[in-house]
């Protein structure tokens, strides 16, 4: 299941603070800018919303971390989740199996970054595209989703992260300027995007 909030400007950070665990509040305080604090809180609120709706869990989740630094919910190792955010939105994926998700704003194409992160086949796709910026971001989110799925994150194998991988679901919101990918994609029906706003918890 996917929970998405792309109304960062309309998010009430002060109203959300009581919903955060002490652990999350401590993390939030590390952000110097309001955008970082907002997206940190928004991701946690989306997770709480999903845990309540999908699993009936009402208590604020506390995170533990595996050897790669990937978080999991203390006391609920059977519930898998992944969070991501960018300037345009925040997203949370919940599943009964390991899952990775990534959301990114579409930005100006950077050829040097593309050459560092994409293999030759992917560079050909980008260069042949009418919108190389969008094609690059689509591929980038796909790679991130796969790498976050196994908890390894961005490593030196990013160029070939998609080799042999199938079952990635990608969504593009051109109006709001972002792309997200989830791996593995949910079985039919596809994951549902939940609306913006602070849930009643």
What is the predicted pLDDT for the residue at 179? 98
Distance CA 40, CA 17 (A): 11
What is the predicted pLDDT for the residue at 154? 62
How much of the chain is in helix, strand and coil states, percent to nearest 5?
35, 20, 45
69-123 pLDDT, tens digit each: 889 999 999 999 999 999 999 999 999 999 999 999 999 999 999 999 999 999 9
pTM, rounded to two decimals? 0.90
Distances (CA, A) of 127 to 51, 114, 142, 179: 42, 10, 18, 19
3-15 pLDDT, tens digit each: 999 999 999 999 9
Helices marked H in the chain: 13-16, 22-28, 34-55, 111-117, 120-128, 132-149
């Amino acid at each position: 299941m996917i929970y998405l909030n792309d109304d960062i400007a309309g998010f009430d950070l002060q109203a959300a603070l009581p919903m955060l665990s002490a652990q999350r509040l401590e993390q939030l305080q590390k952000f110097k800018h309001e955008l970082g604090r907002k997206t940190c809180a928004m991701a946690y609120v989306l997770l709480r919303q999903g845990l309540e709706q999908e699993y009936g869990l009402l208590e604020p989740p506390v995170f533990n971390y595996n050897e790669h630094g990937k978080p999991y919910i203390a006391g609920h190792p059977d519930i898998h989740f992944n969070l991501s955010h960018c300037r345009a939105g925040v997203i949370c994926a919940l599943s009964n199996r390991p899952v990775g998700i990534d959301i990114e704003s579409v930005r100006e194409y950077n050829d040097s970054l593309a050459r560092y992160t994409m293999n030759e086949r992917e560079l050909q796709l980008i260069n042949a595209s009418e919108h190389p910026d969008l094609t690059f971001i689509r591929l980038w989110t796909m790679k991130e989703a796969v790498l976050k799925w196994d908890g390894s994150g961005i490593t030196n194998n990013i160029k070939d992260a998609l080799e042999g991988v199938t079952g990635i679901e990608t969504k593009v919101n051109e109006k709001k300027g972002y792309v997200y990918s989830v791996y593995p994609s949910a079985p039919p029906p596809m994951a549902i995007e939940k609306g913006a706003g602070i849930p009643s918890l």
